[in-house]
Chain A
């Protein structure tokens, strides 16, 4: 187990494309850190630099006490699980897992012990003699994880390992990865563009956008207190409602939906701002509050999404699916002051103190 420390990491490709711009990040020992962001945000590149599959243009990457910038991938004491499994098609499951250990000259009985232990852990003992092509997607992914586990590395790297699985299997494997991490307690870095994976798996979420880190925090923190407009709109489904606003007096912001109170202790703001409110933080009210006319109602089973406008700004409201809501019929909404987020209009950063 080890801490991974990245300091001022940059990656500039030969064509001059900056994939990662000045990233500093500490992955604490034993933590499960998820790099989350849209495609092209540099998260995979960052992971591949930690793995040693991409060179680091500048900055230092430390695993444990060792700077690994110039160290070969095989000697970094890491293991990686790839999106498309990357199993050796011509080798049996057993050989796939044993290959890396054999290359390191480990004695045979030790290899055998480790492979069998990992196979039990992942419930793939009965497939050990099969070739990967005779396995299902989920089983292949287990083998790929088994190949990482037998190495007993200091750090596990996961590069979107669940993207190739169907939705149902993804949920199961997600739980299994979580269980595995709780059991092995190994430092893990997991790349994904799926916020549900990030929220459920991570101790620490790192939200990235165009080569930079937008926010580092616990899943709840990232959800409740987004550090920027980008994080606010990227995390949460449906996305956070964003509208322009103007501070009219301390603790009150004027929006297209009327005057809203906000937590003046948390935000120091004045003048024009960007106001963010999560759909699930808006509630129906019997009287008072803001007027709202739902134009479209989506039933999701447990919740109900109301689509409408505050002035000309489109708004989504998520409410529990009880009672009835009529389309095109005016209703009243109340918004909790604690739920209102304020962002700088120009930079998009949160105005939290």
Chain B
């Protein structure tokens, strides 16, 4: 029995360690590669220990840029990506919380029609409607602008659904108590619905921030200027296929940097995130 218990305790750790290794090793390799001169990586002789040029590489990546392809330093890309991800996340939350509020708490003609229209957009992500969306963005002079990067990605059904489901769990008596307490719809929204949705908003922010950060297809279409580039596209552009050498250390450093903000968001907001998805505060 005792041996069994000992083994029972060890086995899960072994499995977990294996899992962590499988996930973490490529990231570690990426980091190692970013600290060695590019020839070493290009030769395919990837060492397993960090190399000598950590500071040079990261300084060059952040503030100078890769000479071969994009002329923009990664700092600009980080800022662009950050603005895009934040705007998409906050925009989606703002729009969907308001539309969910309308659909749940107001009785108006075609209410369910409105809800189903929103619902249908689930089946129409940007990839499906890319040509018309691009045409509209171009006609509105939104190319190479933050507005063009974000607005077409903001309209979102998932978040509306999420909030609708949450609002349906708020007891009707709370609405009625608010009415008796002299709170109109806006006040009810501001004083009751919004504070109760805090954890849900946090959880959605995490999901949507990562969604926004990882956008690839739309930014590659809508931006042409280097200073509007996002980091995900920056990585792709740095990998040169012809004529020039790919600066692998810079590419891998950029990949490391691209990983940092989403990781930070998840780590910092994890407590809220779990709370928002699991717990309902009523």
Contact = CB atoms under 8 A, between A and B. Distances in A.
Contacts of B182: 74-75, 100, 103-104
Interface stretch (B53-61, B151-159, B187-195, B227-235): B187-195
Contact of A103 (B173, B181, B196, B281): B181
A73 B196 contact: no
B23 interface: no
A74 B181 contact: yes
A99 B281 contact: no
Contact of A88 (B174, B176, B179, B180): B174
B277 to A, nearest CB: 18
Contacts of B195: 90
B281 A73 contact: no
B124 interface: no
B173 A88 contact: no
A78 B182 CA distance: 11
Given A53-B176, A79-B180, A100-B181, A89 B191 contact: no
B212 to A, nearest CB: 28
Interface string A66-77: 000000111100
Interface in B247-282: 281-282
Contacts of A87: 177
B132 interface: no
Contacts of A88: 174, 177, 191-192
B97 to A, nearest CB: 16
Contacts of B176: 51, 53, 73, 80, 82, 86
Contacts of A84: 171, 173
A51 B180 contact: yes
A300 B80 CA distance: 79
Contacts of A78: 180
A80 B196 contact: no
Contacts of A79: 180
Contact of A90 (B177, B181, B196): B196
A100 B180 contact: yes
Nearest to A80: B180
B265 to A, nearest CB: 24
B126 interface: no
A129 B200 CA distance: 25
B83 interface: no
B90 interface: no
A88 B187 CA distance: 13
B183 interface: yes
Contacts of B177: 80, 82, 86-88, 147
Report the contact-size class of chain B (Cβ under 8 Å from the partner): 10 to 19
Interface string A143-155: 0000100000000
Contacts of B181: 74, 99-100, 103, 147
A75 B183 CA distance: 11
A73 B182 CA distance: 8
A82 B191 CA distance: 20
A88 B196 CA distance: 9
B179 A86 contact: no
Nearest to B179: A73
Contacts of B174: 86, 88
Looking at A78, A83, A85, the one whose CB has the most chain B CB atoms below 10 A away is A85
Interface in B74-117: none
Nearest to B194: A90
Interface in A234-291: none
Nearest to B192: A88
Contact of B183 (A82, A86, A89, A103): A103
Nearest to A95: B191
B23 to A, nearest CB: 38
B201 to A, nearest CB: 13
A54 B194 CA distance: 26
Interface string B183-209: 100010001100110000000000000
Nearest to A83: B173
A293 B173 CA distance: 52
Contacts of A100: 180-182
B173 A89 contact: no
Contacts of A52: 179
A44 to B, nearest CB: 12
A161 to B, nearest CB: 12
Contacts of A80: 176-177, 180
Given A74-B181, A89-B281, A89-B282, A82 B192 contact: no
B179 A90 contact: no
A87 B183 CA distance: 14
Interface in A204-244: none
B281 A90 contact: yes
A171 to B, nearest CB: 24
A53 B179 contact: yes
B38 to A, nearest CB: 55
A86 B173 contact: yes
Interface of B: 171, 173-174, 176-177, 179-183, 187, 191-192, 195-196, 281-282
Given A73-B176, A86-B171, A88-B177, 7 more contacts: A73-B179, A74-B180, A80-B177, A85-B173, A90-B195, A100-B181, A133-B281
11 contacts: A74-B179, A75-B182, A80-B177, A82-B173, A84-B173, A85-B173, A86-B174, A86-B176, A88-B191, A89-B282, A103-B187
